[in-house]
Chains A and B, each alone.
Chain A
Amino acid sequence: MKKTLLKKVFLWLFLALPFLAFSQATVRGYIQDELDGTPLPGVNVVIKGTTTGTTSDFDGNYEITVNNFPATLVFSSLGFETREIRITDATTLNVTLAESATGLDEVVITGLATSVKRENLANAVSTVSTQELVGTTSQSTVDGALYGKVPGVNITASSGAPGGGFALRLRGVSSINGNNQPLIIVDGVYYNNVEVPSGLRFASGANRENEENSSNRLADLDPNDIQNVEVLKGSSAAAIYGQRGNAGVIIITTKRGKSGKTKISFSQDLGSNKIANPLGIRPWTGDSVEATFDAGERAKFDATIAERGSLYNFEDIIYGETGFITETRLNATGGNEKTKFYVGGAYRDEDGIIKNTGFDRLSLRTNLEHRISDVFDFTTTTNFTRSNSSRSFTGNENEGGLSYGYTLAFTRPWNNLFPDANGNYPNNPNYPGNPIFVRDNARNDDTNNRIVQGLALNTNILTTDVNRVKLVLSGGFDYLANETNVYVPETHQAQIGGQGGFVAVGKNNFTQFNTQAIAVWDHDAMGGDLGLTSQAGLTYLSQESNLVNSRGSLLAAGQTSVDQSVNQVIDQNRTEEEDFGFFAQVEGNYKDQFIATLGYRMDKSSRNGDPNKFYGFPKASLAVNFNNFDFWGVEDISQLKLRIAYGETGNPAGFGATFTSFGANNIGGNIGQSVGISGEGLAAKGDPDVEPETAKEIEMGFDLGLFQNRITFEATYYNKQVKDLILTRALPASTGFTQETTNLADLRNKGVELGLKWDVLSNQNVRWNTGVLFYLNRSEITRLDVPAFPQPGAGFGLGLGTFFIEEGKPVTQLVGNIDGVQTQVGNVEPDFQMAFSNNLTLFKQFDVLFLLQWKQGGENLNLSTFLTDLGGVTPDLETAEGQARLATPANALRFVEPAGYVRLREAAIYYRLPTQTVNNIFGETVEGVKFGFSGRNIFTITDYSSYDPEVSVNGGAGLSSGIEVTPFPSSRQFYFHLNVNF
């Protein structure tokens, strides 16, 4: 530190020497946070119009030598609004800085090892800060916390079960059978977001792995650990990620230590989970029972009414629990000039709205930064997570008698399904499952132990006044050990005489390793007017998985081990893949007026037909800041930037697309081989020549800042063309294969994203800022080499409606067979989405925050109604409208419903004890105390007739959203929060 300081002083002296002749004096002072008065270290203080500057020390003190009065001092720090203060003579100047509402000063990671100031950015990169992510209410998963916070993102929840089940789509669907979930990078480590199948489909009869209601493993990342989330939405921004960037990239940076006094923060949240939107039960009458069923059922109905005065409300019995949520967090940050640390731990325990469901997560994190010398420094991030969830049984099935919604569709509310005094559960007379038995006795659990380790080593090879060269070696691994456990007792109704009890135990390991080596050269040319940042490097990624699922049926009474079964089946699924790439990028910044970037990346992957063929992904962008031109004289327009960016990305085919394999297929104790997988309808033909799908995107827009950037407005238009889209399509089954996966189509996504932030009021007593997001996306299949076809694995065929890949039509269209004609009945893509957020701080003590989200348009296929109509239990069947629906043919047209909504996604009120009060009560040891109340999913206005218009029966992958079959209902959560800083 001292050496650096000396060097700096020397440098400044050197620069200042010519001016020594003029009047010279020292300005000093103290910089603090406007909100709570804490000292702010590391604030840059620069004399405007010069390169003279300094930074504040750990106690917030600064000192700067000013040669010429009057002068203007510019105070800037990450996350705070920049202040300019004019001084006329040497003085003591104490400054308070307010937290930035606009974020124009923050830096955005744009290269693999470099970042750029937001005001110079040529792409619409969205950044979500920790405050925006978790500042309003308690969040259980990162993806669930992003609703309404990022323009251009579409989030679908495939399950309301605690612990997630979300799918993110950035700027529409960009891959259908490849990975269309964005690449997630946490502190430089590729983060595995897999949905792990549990094998419960072998008991429930669900069609595929993706109907097993698994959650995606981003659930293992504690949202509270996150400093910020950067979302590279399109190819133009994500091009430097090459062939893994097609669906966009989410870059997550976790919290870092701050040097200075060690700060300890303790938080406790207490909350409740409650079904958000119960549908109620059909108001049966004796007549309607007889009309729907027969006189015998009426007699049962009458008997139940006579016995207990009302029917059994099974919806309330199953979904009516109030789940208790608790989350405890403790973290410490601190350090000195050489070493900074962030150490934190959190434990969240969340019970679901169904008894015996829940999610808990223990997350421990250590982030360390250390400067070895002026040449070397490193950062290490370590995160261990253990999470458990019990998700029970929901969604689609076939005769398993397990999925609650499916069972309830056929369960008549005059049958008592509660166990008798001896604990014997009666059989459900109308469906092969008693939901109360399933809830009490069957299990669908998973456990995850996960370590994510990131490491970055910076080597400053050369530092001169105009050249800085560093070598950045970084990488990390992500090891996930997942265990799944499904148990269905032999006494379960559907098991008796059939499987005779079922247990499935999965032991699944996922190992990812990635590394990169990058050289960065910063060069100041043209006397400092032109800054050039060049980088070149290489990257390597390897992913391996080994999934072993052991299943036993015909269990010994009450036994839950695979060992205690007669019939045993074991599946093993292994994958291994490797990617290698290199890239180079040059970024030029001319006086913050013109900022241009050129880059190129080459990638190859074992998932491509030719594993050693390189594919190239160029990028180029230009931003022009008109407000930084000398001629700019419009005081009120503080920023006007035009920007344009182009980039290409790719996505290799999924593992296995290149080969055609036999599956083991046995009879009479002999092992045999058959095309396709035994017991499943699937027989895939590989394409040994499959190429990656590639996207080219052009993005353009402008950023406008008014009145010292108190109002900022961003507008972006993009056009993203995906070429050689990899599609799994049904083959003529007479070939012996049911499907192949190969490059078949082109797809275009076009859209608009608008964002407005307004710092409405900012004075001593009131701070109010508000934000509005608006975005829409339109997709079209622009080329299709084969006849139009229903997307396999997404929907239930043309009879009931399915996603349908057809040239000239949106990729998200829903098509059904209506009177023998393939007809588009809907489109799950919303017309547009909006979000409206408000943060209000009153008297520095009260925070009021809320986030409203509006999704306009888009349709869902509600097949829950199909089932409840069939079982006669749909709540509206006592109405003429309901009866009229019952008389229409059971096709897609009948079940398509508008799925738009307006939702109060988050709202909160917090109170911060005044510093004086804190000191009076707790003395000096406690720095701040804050408590408050918040809610999530507080209300929803929608025409959709089921639990939640955000739904997907097919999990997160592929074209999955918008088809509903008896999901886990969404919940509404309320919390009490307490936060103490030491």
Chain B
Amino acid sequence: MKNIIKKITTLAWTFSILVIVYSCTIDEVQDPDGPSVSGVQQNASKGQLNELVVGIESTIRNGLGTEVTASGTMARELYLFDADPRNTGDLLGKDGIPLDNNSFYSTQQWNGNYRATKNANLLIEAASNTEFVTDAESNGYIGFAKTMQAYELIQILKSYDRARLDVADPDNLGPILDFNEALAQIRALLDEAQGNLSSTGGSFAFPLSSGFSGFDTPATFTQFNRAVAALAAVYAGDGTSALTALTGSYFDLGGALDLGPNHIFGLGGGDQANPVFRVPSTPENVNNGDQIIVHDSWINEAEAGDTRVASKAAPRPDPSTQDGLTGTHETRLYATNVSDVEILRNEELILLYAEASILANNLQDAEDALNTIRTSASLPNYAGAQTADALTTELLNQRRYSLWSENHRMFDLRRYGLSSTLPIDRAGDQVYNVLPVPLSENE
């Protein structure tokens, strides 16, 4: 008996030793399908930095579709007839329903813009902590990243009226700032970026896509930087600074209206399609796919002969009703699902110049600029009073037609306190002019 127990004990020990021998270490798992974020934080190669540049250029397109359709719906520029009823419900305050801070329309743009912002911060950090690029090259990366970041944060302010600027450390976020304070910091960021770009040398160490052709050297990219600075200055009510910034930009009163960098699109892997394009309806294919319907007021209130109406909208063969709403026209803003979307074109700069001139009380300059726009739309020159108020009204109207369905109207009406002038289409609808900050921000 004792013998047996001894045997068993020996066996148990042998077994235990086997166990320990066998319990080899398990290797830490790396993501087999993607590089790690921490891998670029120290001594990133030029190739890695360039991939981050492409990532930024790619991700500034994130959220663009919702940005346009949500703000456009709220500002009664358009309706989105699609599978999500909230597009014709919540955004128009149907039966008094409030905007929700946890629905796609309040989160998609925020998420998209901040993802690009994060990529920019990662590039800034990576370019500052690597020995593989020269100081001049590093400045190029940083100037690019800061300019794009500033542009994205302005988009946040337009939709949410507030923004969080200090977002570099995910575990230690800065506060959400109100509009004026945030805008002041964004303008400072743009100036810093200009400083970086000025010490970059003659060329960038990275390629940009064809969307930035003509704006892909430090000097020409600085023109874009100044255009964004002018935009920010106008939004801050600072006409003089805006006019100064415009002189450093590609603003050209006599130039092509579409001059400026573009978002470009593609259908390949990892690429994105134009999110504002909609398939045109034809008599054979009526109401095919989801539709961006032009708000009737935009058609009806247009000045006779305004060529922008016919170029941006077309009559619907079968104007169906959805959720009690209808419209006679649908969008023709983009020809295909890979058509470019302009980021900031000369036409908008001319309008910014007009606005800055009104703010700086150069009323004749403003009227001249507005006439340039009117002429381009085959309209006669402005015949109203040359007062700041009257010209502002004219300015907003030209912006309404020049920048239709490009995420401007809601912000324009809000900053001029005119949101309450919008039409109500259904009894019980509400006008909202600012999106709620997403729930996940834990305010």
Contacts and interface: CB of A to CB of B under 8 A. Distances in A.
A876 B284 CA distance: 33
B61 to A, nearest CB: 8
A670 B47 CA distance: 11
A667 B34 contact: no
30 contacts: A432-B288, A467-B8, A469-B8, A496-B289, A521-B8, A538-B19, A554-B267, A580-B26, A582-B19, A660-B37, A666-B268, A666-B270, A667-B209, A667-B211, A667-B271, A668-B57, A670-B50, A674-B59, A674-B116, A675-B122, A678-B269, A732-B164, A735-B167, A736-B115, A787-B442, A790-B102, A796-B103, A817-B102, A866-B85, A890-B85
B34 to A, nearest CB: 4
A519 B12 contact: yes
Given A666-B271, A667-B57, A735-B167, A496 B52 contact: no
B173 interface: yes
Given A568-B268, A789-B440, A429 B55 contact: no
B272 A679 contact: yes
Contact of B289 (A497, A538, A573, A580): A497
Contact of A672 (B16, B33, B51, B95): B51
A462 B7 contact: yes
B439 A538 contact: no
Contacts of A843: none
Contacts of B108: 681
Most buried by A among B8, B29, B104, B107: B29
B233 to A, nearest CB: 24
B118 A736 contact: yes
Contact of B285 (A427, A572, A659, A670): A427
Given A665-B270, A678-B58, A660 B36 contact: yes
A799 B90 contact: yes
The 5 closest A-B pairs by CB, nearest first: A736-B118, A672-B54, A668-B209, A497-B279, A799-B100
B172 to A, nearest CB: 10
Given A672-B58, A734-B164, A817-B100, A662 B34 contact: yes
Interface in B316-342: 318, 320-321, 323, 337
B58 A667 contact: yes
Given A659-B30, A661-B36, A672-B53, A666 B115 contact: no
A294 interface: yes
A294 B324 CA distance: 10
Interface in A669-690: 669-676, 678-679, 681, 683, 685
Contacts of A656: 31
A883 interface: no
Contacts of B82: 398-399
Contact of A496 (B30, B35, B98, B285): B285
Contacts, number: 308
B289 A432 contact: yes
Given A800-B86, A889-B97, 9 more contacts: A399-B82, A399-B290, A427-B285, A462-B8, A659-B30, A666-B270, A732-B164, A732-B442, A733-B115
B118 A735 contact: yes
Contact of B266 (A493, A575, A668, A867): A668
B304 interface: no
B414 to A, nearest CB: 21
Contacts of A382: none
A358 to B, nearest CB: 27
B269 A664 contact: yes
A570 B269 CA distance: 7
B252 to A, nearest CB: 25
A779 interface: no
B286 interface: yes
A573 B29 contact: no
Contacts of A568: 268-269
B266 to A, nearest CB: 7
A244 interface: no
Nearest to A890: B89
B280 interface: yes
B438 A605 contact: no
Contacts of B32: 574-576
A608 B16 CA distance: 25
A685 B284 CA distance: 48
Contacts of B27: 606, 611
A606 B85 CA distance: 44
Interface of B: 1, 4, 7-8, 11-12, 15-16, 19, 22-38, 40, 48, 50-59, 61, 82-86, 89-90, 94-98, 100-104, 107-108, 110-111, 114-119, 121-122, 164, 167, 170, 173, 176, 207, 209-211, 264, 266-272, 279-280, 284-290, 318, 320-321, 323, 337, 438-442
Nearest to A519: B15
Most buried by B among A553, A669, A734: A734
Given A494-B288, A799-B90, A667 B54 contact: yes
Nearest to A661: B34
A207 to B, nearest CB: 9
A148 B245 CA distance: 74
A733 B438 contact: yes
Interface in A402-447: 406, 427, 429-432
A429 B318 contact: yes
A18 interface: no
A521 B11 CA distance: 11
A772 B3 CA distance: 53
Given A789-B440, A889-B96, A663 B83 contact: no
A499 B383 CA distance: 47
B59 A734 contact: no
Contacts of A666: 54, 58, 266, 268-271
Given A406-B83, A735-B170, A461 B11 contact: yes
A730 B439 contact: yes
A614 to B, nearest CB: 9
Contacts of A99: none
B204 to A, nearest CB: 13
Contacts of A575: 32
B35 A574 contact: no
A498 interface: yes
A797 interface: yes
Contacts of A538: 19, 22-23
B288 A427 contact: yes
Contacts of B34: 661-664, 673
A736 B37 CA distance: 12
A685 B170 contact: yes
B173 to A, nearest CB: 6
A573 B31 CA distance: 10
Nearest to A540: B22
A964 to B, nearest CB: 15
A669 to B, nearest CB: 8
A820 B269 CA distance: 40
A313 interface: no
Given A294-B321, A429-B320, A611 B442 contact: no
Contact of B59 (A658, A665, A887): A665
B439 to A, nearest CB: 7
A240 to B, nearest CB: 16
A573 B45 CA distance: 26
Nearest to B213: A668
Contacts of B285: 427, 493, 496-497
A576 B57 CA distance: 33
Contacts of A205: 83
B167 A734 contact: yes
A795 to B, nearest CB: 10
A816 to B, nearest CB: 9
A683 B48 CA distance: 19
A665 B26 contact: no
A797 B279 CA distance: 29
A685 B441 CA distance: 16
A429 B37 contact: no
A535 B183 CA distance: 70
A225 B285 CA distance: 53
A730 B111 CA distance: 11
